[in-house]
Amino acid sequence: MDLQQTLDAIAAEIARDATEIEAAADAKDDSLSPGPFGIAVATADRVVTAGAADTPFPIQSIAKVLALDLALRSRGDRLFERVGREPSGDPFNSMIDLERTGGLPRNPFINAGALVVVDMLVTDHDRCDSVVDLVGQQLGTRDVPLDQAVLTEGGDLNRAMLSFMRHHGNLEAANDRVMEAYARQCAIRVDCAGLARAGLFLTRTRIAPDDAVEAERARRLRTVLALMMTCGHYDGSGDFAVRVGLPSKSGVGGGILAIAPECAAIAVWSPNLDQHGNSILGVRALEMLAARTGWSVFGPPLDPRAATGAATPPGH
């Protein structure tokens, strides 16, 4: 399989059919014209790109995946005493679900659950840049740009969730500290190539039976990927699993990070969203890529040579 040719063909088809693809989708705003599209695939030895893969965007909720991994490193399965592991069936910012569960969020990817995870990071590390630092570590830089518009967004509903969860004893750090850390991780600004590189460590799920440390790391990443599969696209996760078959997480900045375990990290971006907050062209491109490579958690790749393995990122 020539990965560059595959990505070039997908980008060309997306550009040609973008209007038709978006018209057929349940768009959040059907008055918008199709925007640019980019895709990047990071493997053990290279990053392959096509389209507008060098256009930066805020990762927004994709940061929740990285925050979850960091919190699992420090707390292990004790994390799930404070946040569940089930799809919610409600919008990502719903307060109603919190009322049903007495302040225990259904999963780490809805906003309430992500805030609890960030609360753990702030408490455990006494700082607000844990996720920013992780991205910098994966990209080999100390200069991770942040989107100023995201940093200054209002957060009244998130603050309400924090107060509700504090009332139920499910919050440790000060609200302002949690909000600052949450805003900073959502504001991380990268392009598709950078997002794919930042997520490459998530592909390393092979368990080494003779290495306890590596086995524990692989099991942790399998937990993260399982939650990406079941909850990564909110109440659109089931449809995405059928269409694409890869653990993924979307963000309202138009990006999606998908993981083909032991093969590749894939990042796509296009700004127009569906009703679930997922990039319309991004989802379609991932569906096309999965069909042409066979990358799926439900079966082997079409070409065994496509299973290239994952690189060992810095510090992992």
pLDDT digits (tens, 9 = 90+) for 81-136: 999 999 987 778 888 889 889 999 999 999 999 999 999 999 999 999 999 999 99
The pLDDT of 252-265, averaged and rounded, is 97
The answer to whether residue 74 scores a pLDDT higher than 80 is yes
| Residues composing the chain | 316
The answer to whether residue 281 scores a pLDDT higher than 80 is yes
Q: Can you give the pLDDT at residue 168?
A: 97
Q: Can you give the pLDDT at residue 310?
A: 40
Q: Can you give the pLDDT at residue 44?
A: 92
Q: Can you give the pLDDT at residue 305?
A: 62
Closest CA to 199 of 265, 251, 146, 253: 265
Q: With cut-offs at 50, 70 and 90, classify the pLDDT of residue 312.
A: very low
CATH class of the domain at 61-186 = alpha beta
Specify whether the CB–CB gap between 263 and 307 falls below 8 A: yes
The answer to whether residue 304 scores a pLDDT higher than 80 is no
pTM of the prediction? 0.94
For residues 283 and 171, what is the distance between their CA atoms, to the nearest angstrom? Answer: 34
Q: Which residues make up the CATH 3.40.710.10 domain(s) of the chain?
A: 3-55+191-306, 61-186
* H helical segments located in the chain: 3-24, 63-75, 96-101, 111-125, 130-139, 148-151, 156-167, 175-186, 192-198, 212-231, 237-243, 280-293
Topology (CATH) of 3-55+191-306: Beta-lactamase (3.40.710)
List residues forming the annotated binding site.
Answer: 61, 111, 153, 158, 182, 234, 252
Residue 155 is classified by DSSP as -
Closest CA to 248 of 232, 264, 224: 232
List residues forming the annotated binding site for substrate.
Answer: 61, 111, 153, 158, 182, 234, 252
Burial of residue 176 (CB within 10 Å: 0-12, 13-18, 19+) is: exposed
For residues 28 and 280, what is the distance between their CA atoms, to the nearest angstrom? Answer: 10
